[in-house]
Structure 1
Amino acid sequence: MTQETPTSPVPDPRVDVDALGVPFLRQRGEVRFPSRALAARPEFQRIDGQSMDEHRDRVFDQLRLLVQENAISRAFPRGVGGGDDHGGSIAAFEELVTADPSLQIKAGVQWGLFAGAVLHLGTEEHHEKWLPGILSLEIPGAFAMTEIGHGSDVASIATTATYEPETEEFVLHTPFRAAWKEYLGNAGIHGQAAVVFAQLVTRGVNHGVHAFYVPIRDGADFLPGVGGEDDGLKGGLNGIDNGRLHFTNVRVPRTNLLNRYGDVAADGSYSSPIASPGRRFFTMLGTLVQGRVSLDGAAAAASKTALQIAVGYGNQRRQFNASSDTTEEVLLDYQRHQRRLLTRVATTYAMGFAHEELLEKFDDVFSGAHDTDEDRQDLETLAAALKPLSTWNALDILQECREACGGAGFIAKNRFTALRADLDIYVTFEGDNNVLLQLVAKRLLSDYAEEFRNLDAGVLARYVVRQAGNAALHRTGLRQLAQTWADTGSEKRSANFLKDPQTQRELLTDRVRSMVAEVADVLRGAAKLPQDRAAALFNEHQNELIEAARAHAELLQWEAFTRGLARVEDPGTRAVLTWVRDLFGLGLIEKDLAWYLMHGRLSGQRARTLGPYLNRLLNRLRPHAQDLVDAFGYAPEHLRAEIATGIEAERQEEAMEYQRLRRASADAPVDEKVLAARRKAADLERDRPEVGAERAPGRVRELGGQVPQRVVDGH
């Protein structure tokens, strides 16, 4: 059960920015702060306008700088100079996104994927042989898993590694064009070796996908049998030399098999500590979950950066005279602007709290503190749930921030366009988001089925009756009627219902459970159908399953946010952050309001109250908007956007001072509307002196002040 947050009101709450920043840096500040310091240094930052080749060279040089700064070995064993700090390593790497996403991803390819595969899939012999060179960048490498023809379907890749006992070698071969390894960082020009995933065949038996260490280049030239192409210019991340590889009967020693989970003896016999081929496959892939974890964190970091720029600009830029004839409105005072940005601030806080919990789970598993099969499955499911939401949200946040800054947001020096282009690929990195959510959905179905596996008939019968009763209650509208009766004439009562955290939890949880239950009921018995009919039945409900998984991931974020609230000690900060949590949770309910109405979970009365209450929350949060984004903790060196330097405030002050002096000047031109009003007042005073004297001064002031008599007289 989620820990409740204190609900006692705090009069006129204020945000302690430093205290609010603590939850995002807790237990990781010792690595986040140094990594942020590196990201703030010019030599680690992107230079806009560079050619692709120049950008690639710069990023590769930056990798060398990371080695010199001893910033890349935290996750590795102490025996090779590492720190055995798995969570700290991810936390440090994701901060590099503020310097240049190309740097963050290329570092992740080299030391997360390539080195990580050797570390987690290999044995001590492999560690001693290759890790020192990989860590020092003496061996730049690629992670060659994805094939053009199968994408996220790793189990079906076509590259083979066939063992020959007479030479004690594996022969790697690409049988057709669609089996080329594709989208590989470091494969275009820099990679000297690769961890290649292939179907292991020995003694005529295919034992499934395994990983092999394969040298691919000698300097700039491919080794015999290895071929490839440079992917060239991409939509973003052009500091990374992505490319494709293929193999024509390339031979590697038997010992180049990364054999932690499966080994081949000299005579060709195969052995594995995991008997089940399916479980073995998922165990091997599960060791590489760090990529999804780091993308989740990097997406949150990029979102914070964008919002810190956009909210700061919205607090300075003025547009239109709404409440004053002399002073224009600050953009963030407009309700629509608050809807655009503050709702996304709330989403980013939820992403941040959820990522911290994911990072802790990752560290627990990989440090060995909690490393059971169940722990690993939970970690994989959590990463597969959160990575899609954070990467999708990042694109949405970057686009909305760009638009909220108008034309200035489209200028390259204000960062939004480049960040969005670079993060676009995150939604398909490490697995397409929809495929990942399908994995989550299958886990939800499995857990749902597990609840009833050992229940007796009596319990099952009671469950069926209860479900039937609930369905009848919702279908007949009795629940809605009860809500409406309780709320009749009281908007406040409806609002109190919605802002209650237990209500939010129940609504979000009920949606997930109901969606899973509906699909589970339909799919019950599918295993007994012929394969084609079972597949067709599943496909008919695939979208519902993915929507259920997405709702589940949103619930995970809300739960993490609520737990994070309990750790905020300052009362004023906690009060403000509670409003932010409510804005996030009720925003999710508003997004899916049609579902809640159609399924009888909310009455029309309460549904109508939701929008106005969200607007009230926005109004409460408006004074704290700058503090909320400043708490993300990024300095001007991280933001590097001209509109985030205070230049807009200077421009607005200059404009207001100019207008003030202009109004005070006797020689200033007169606005046509003011002149017309003055003449009308003069005419009225001549015709009806008692009315004109009463109305004219106020009307002239309303339109901008006094008009010299010489102008009225036509001089």
Structure 2
Amino acid sequence: MVDTASKPASDHVTRPDRTQYTAQTGPIDVDAPPAAVDVAALGRKLMGTWADIRVAAREFAKNPALQRIEGLSLDDHRARVFGQLKLLVDNGQVHRAFPKSVGGRDDHGGNIAGFEELVTADPSLQIKSGVQWGLFGAAVLHLGTERHHQKYLPGIMSLEVPGAFAMTETGHGSDVAAIATTATYDPETQEFVIDTPFRGAWKDYLGNAAKDGIACTLFAQLITNGVNHGVHCFYVPIRDTATGEFLPGIGGEDDGLKGGLNGIDNGRLHFTDVRIPRENLLNRYGDVAEDGTYSSSIASPGRRFFTMLGTLVQGRVSLDGAATLGSAMGLTIAITYGNQRRQFTAGSDTDEEVLLDYQRHQRRLIPRLATTYAQVFAHDKLLVKFDEVFSGKADTDEDRQDLETLAAALKPLSTWHALDTLQETREACGGAGFLVENRITSLRADLDVYVTFEGDNNVLLQLVAKRLLTDYSKKFAKADAGALARYVVAQAADRAYHGTGLRSLAQTVADFGSTARSVGQLRDPQTQRELLTDRVETMIAEVATRLRNANKLSKQKAADLFNSQQNELIEAARAHGELLQWEAFTEALETVQDAGTKQVLTWLRDLFGLGLIEKHVAWHIIHGRLSPQRAQAVSAYIDRLVARLRPQAQSLVDAFGFEQEHLRAKIASGAEAERQAEAREYYREQRASGTAPIDEKTLQKKSK
């Protein structure tokens, strides 16, 4: 609840520079039109394409039986979450993505949308359900054929068969192609023999492996007739269903207590001469005949590998959405608290200031709110693309590559942002933020691993960078190094001096002589787009020029050359992801009908875009895209935008639609507002009755 206590007229002042200040809201540009947010309509828009499913899932998440209980022991938390999976089955939450032939709904986008909302109940529940149905079950669905669907999916969907997704190895995490587990075909018995030949080949960090799983989808190098055909997936029983003990040849360990997500029984598995029937190969993309002959509809081993892994992209898609929800929850808690908590009598002899009235507090939270909005809109576009690919509406190789690149670009940004935002919101709430009862520390701990699982963020951005390089090289397939170098120089010169809007922006600064009045071009979305796009293009062009002759070098020298550009490539990919988010925000703006909401969201979009430019301002100055004066204008306008958005901050977080049953944070419940009102009334009554003690400082002033 926002503090709405009335203010005396003297608290409102107009300064000569045409900026108004109020004790409640801080500086406001009076030339800006008044704006108010239609919270209900904006909330519906933030729910995205599958709004009805999100609303229903969030309502379901209000069930106390689904929610985390802080302070549970490891065993109790695991047991509670496993029991919660059964509630999901009973509610039908987990069946959306599965085929209608086995009782599902073939709704891939809706499935992910509903699944993401479980983060409000307990991230452990979200991720454990993701292991069961989004990884273990999805591997059978997407890598198996109809006979596998009929045989395995009913038990997976009903939770009769809890399972693990055995891809990652202790020695190989992100480099899946190099995993060491083998599945060697024996034509005499028509069986595959599964082996983890050394300790580094053990399957590790697997949800459901330590305790609950009785089967797994296992990824191994398929070897038949002495030929390794690369990584394939197999359905492997791992425990006796009656006793819960490991089957012969299988062993494992419990990963134990983790930094978060302790409702999930992560563990490791190892295999020694474990035999499974030939039919347990999930053979959608590669098969082995009875005599050991290998066949595949995809001739290229590399393309086959990436096609198989691409079918499992939904983990990255869902993490992008869940991390964004985590950021939104943290910001809702911190901004609500900041609107109620008072500290220091900066502008009054009697009343303390609301925290969110301090510029630094606004700068800490409101730009992160802008980024979170950008992520919400970008995620919905990602989810639509995901649904188009997996529903078959747009299922070409190019569509799948676009989906994989989009997921690899957005998941790192949203998961890193979640950790940054939750840490900042924790600090912004002071000691109260450190209390477990206020959720932020637990969210921060649980979401920590999101940055490294389903693909380490830096590795994912390398995949994006390679795609950008490939697209760039297609434009210059026959160009020599000199031509490329000349292109980069020409491009840089054109961008610096003749790029859309940039020259006139510089002239504006020079003519007006004031950074405060040079913001006209900065508000232009074309200027923002130009600066953001140019950074991606130039970084890729520069790296491509340096790598141009790599194919003429030895393998080692080529690797060394590529490694020397790794950091620049990752930064370029990150810039590409940021551009995608900005574009999604801008597209979303075009569909907003309410004038007040559109004005506020435009300020928020501008804050996001200019915040990116400010973050990378050194690059823009070094490359001649911004002069120091223009860079100063960027920061000055950001300060103005933050001040404009301050009165709208509560509405913007209210639009996320979280109720107290979702937040479960006492400092965001209105309790702080009640405490502050009680304290203010106490001192007001003292002053009114004349019983307030005299301040020593007052006596000292009178004596002088």
TM-score (norm 2): 0.93
Residue 438 of structure 2 contacts residue 665 of structure 2 at CA under 8 Å; is this kept in 1? yes
Q: Could you tell me which residue of structure 2 aligns to residue 250 of structure 1? A: 274
- Distance (whole Å) between structure 2 residues aligned to residue 178 and residue 93 of structure 1: 33
Mean Cα displacement is larger for which, 14-23 or 662-671?
Answer: 662-671
- Distance (whole Å) between structure 2 residues aligned to residue 565 and residue 366 of structure 1: 28
Residue 230 of structure 1 contacts residue 243 of structure 1 at CA under 8 Å; is this kept in 2? yes
Q: Could you tell me which residue of structure 1 aligns to residue 650 of structure 2? A: 626
Q: Could you tell me which residue of structure 2 aligns to residue 5 of structure 1? A: none
Q: Could you tell me which residue of structure 1 aligns to residue 447 of structure 2? A: 423
Matched, 1:213 2:235: yes
SS of the aligned residue for 2:260 comes to: coil
Displacement of 1:669 in angstroms is 2.0
1:74-111 CA-to-partner distances (Å, cap 9, x unmatched) read: 00000111000000000000000000000000000000
Matched, 1:38 2:79: no
- Distance (whole Å) between structure 1 residues aligned to residue 503 and residue 581 of structure 2: 31
Work out the percentage of aligned pairs sharing the same amino acid.
68
- Distance (whole Å) between structure 2 residues aligned to residue 477 and residue 263 of structure 1: 58
Spell out the pairing of 1:224-263 with structure 2 (5 A cutoff): 224-263=248-287
Q: Could you tell me which residue of structure 1 aligns to residue 294 of structure 2? A: 270
Matched, 1:125 2:147: yes
Spell out the pairing of 1:308-707 with structure 2 (5 A cutoff): 308-453=332-477, 465=486, 467-471=488-492, 484-490=506-512, 491=515, 494-680=518-704
SS of the aligned residue for 1:615 comes to: helix
Letter in 2 for 1:658: Y
Displacement of 1:499 in angstroms is 1.4
Q: Could you tell me which residue of structure 2 aligns to residue 281 of structure 1? A: 305
Q: Could you tell me which residue of structure 2 aligns to residue 712 of structure 1? A: none
Q: Could you tell me which residue of structure 2 aligns to residue 204 of structure 1? A: 226
1:309-331 CA-to-partner distances (Å, cap 9, x unmatched) read: 11000000001111111111100
SS of the aligned residue for 2:197 comes to: coil
- Distance (whole Å) between structure 1 residues aligned to residue 125 and residue 691 of structure 2: 58
Displacement of 1:559 in angstroms is 0.4
Displacement of 1:615 in angstroms is 0.7
Letter in 2 for 1:179: A
Letter in 1 for 2:582: W
Q: Could you tell me which residue of structure 2 aligns to residue 74 of structure 1? A: 96
Matched, 1:140 2:149: no
Change (3 A) 1:473 1:376: closer
Displacement of 1:609 in angstroms is 1.2
SS of the aligned residue for 1:649 comes to: helix
Matched, 1:56 2:83: no
- Distance (whole Å) between structure 2 residues aligned to residue 65 and residue 470 of structure 1: 58
Q: Could you tell me which residue of structure 2 aligns to residue 195 of structure 1? A: 217
How many residues align structurally?
669
Displacement of 1:662 in angstroms is 1.7
Displacement of 1:471 in angstroms is 4.0
CA-atom RMSD in angstroms? 1.8
Residue 480 of structure 1 contacts residue 600 of structure 1 at CA under 8 Å; is this kept in 2? no
- Distance (whole Å) between structure 1 residues aligned to residue 483 and residue 268 of structure 2: 57
Letter in 2 for 1:403: E
- Distance (whole Å) between structure 2 residues aligned to residue 75 and residue 550 of structure 1: 30
Could you tell me which of 197, 207, 213 is aligned with 1:185?
A: 207
- Distance (whole Å) between structure 2 residues aligned to residue 476 and residue 530 of structure 1: 40
SS of the aligned residue for 1:40 comes to: coil
Q: Could you tell me which residue of structure 1 aligns to residue 189 of structure 2? A: 167
- Distance (whole Å) between structure 2 residues aligned to residue 231 and residue 298 of structure 1: 24
1:188-212 CA-to-partner distances (Å, cap 9, x unmatched) read: 1000000000000000000000000
- Distance (whole Å) between structure 2 residues aligned to residue 129 and residue 145 of structure 1: 22
Q: Could you tell me which residue of structure 1 aligns to residue 132 of structure 2? A: 110
Mean Cα displacement is larger for which, 186-195 or 495-504?
Answer: 495-504
Displacement of 1:493 in angstroms is 5.1
Residue 140 of structure 1 contacts residue 193 of structure 1 at CA under 8 Å; is this kept in 2? yes
Residue 516 of structure 2 contacts residue 637 of structure 2 at CA under 8 Å; is this kept in 1? no
Residue 67 of structure 1 contacts residue 136 of structure 1 at CA under 8 Å; is this kept in 2? yes
Spell out the pairing of 1:147-162 with structure 2 (5 A cutoff): 147-162=169-184
- Distance (whole Å) between structure 2 residues aligned to residue 517 and residue 303 of structure 1: 34
Residue 251 of structure 2 contacts residue 270 of structure 2 at CA under 8 Å; is this kept in 1? yes
- Distance (whole Å) between structure 1 residues aligned to residue 664 and residue 511 of structure 2: 52
SS of the aligned residue for 1:198 comes to: strand
Matched, 1:18 2:40: yes
Residue 492 of structure 2 contacts residue 538 of structure 2 at CA under 8 Å; is this kept in 1? no
Residue 323 of structure 2 contacts residue 418 of structure 2 at CA under 8 Å; is this kept in 1? yes
Residue 327 of structure 1 contacts residue 656 of structure 1 at CA under 8 Å; is this kept in 2? yes
Letter in 2 for 1:636: Q
SS of the aligned residue for 2:223 comes to: strand
Letter in 1 for 2:679: A
Displacement of 1:124 in angstroms is 0.4
- Distance (whole Å) between structure 2 residues aligned to residue 474 and residue 370 of structure 1: 36
Change (3 A) 1:662 1:429: same
Displacement of 1:482 in angstroms is 7.2
Q: Could you tell me which residue of structure 1 aligns to residue 25 of structure 2? A: none
- Distance (whole Å) between structure 2 residues aligned to residue 306 and residue 610 of structure 1: 27
SS of the aligned residue for 2:519 comes to: helix
SS of the aligned residue for 1:221 comes to: coil
Mean Cα displacement is larger for which, 502-511 or 218-227?
Answer: 218-227
- Distance (whole Å) between structure 2 residues aligned to residue 293 and residue 106 of structure 1: 16
Change (3 A) 1:480 1:20: closer
Displacement of 1:11 in angstroms is 3.1
Residue 497 of structure 1 contacts residue 503 of structure 1 at CA under 8 Å; is this kept in 2? yes
Change (3 A) 1:83 1:476: closer
Q: Could you tell me which residue of structure 2 aligns to residue 4 of structure 1? A: none
- Distance (whole Å) between structure 1 residues aligned to residue 445 and residue 261 of structure 2: 8
Instruction: List gaps (5 residues or longer) in structure 1.
Output: 1-8, 681-715
Change (3 A) 1:73 1:474: closer
Displacement of 1:465 in angstroms is 4.9
Residue 488 of structure 2 contacts residue 542 of structure 2 at CA under 8 Å; is this kept in 1? no
Residue 263 of structure 1 contacts residue 270 of structure 1 at CA under 8 Å; is this kept in 2? yes
1:33-68 CA-to-partner distances (Å, cap 9, x unmatched) read: 111011111000000010010000000000001001
Displacement of 1:21 in angstroms is 1.4
Q: Could you tell me which residue of structure 2 aligns to residue 702 of structure 1? A: none
Change (3 A) 1:328 1:507: same
Q: Could you tell me which residue of structure 2 aligns to residue 710 of structure 1? A: none
Displacement of 1:663 in angstroms is 1.8
1:657-700 CA-to-partner distances (Å, cap 9, x unmatched) read: 111122233343211001112232xxxxxxxxxxxxxxxxxxxx
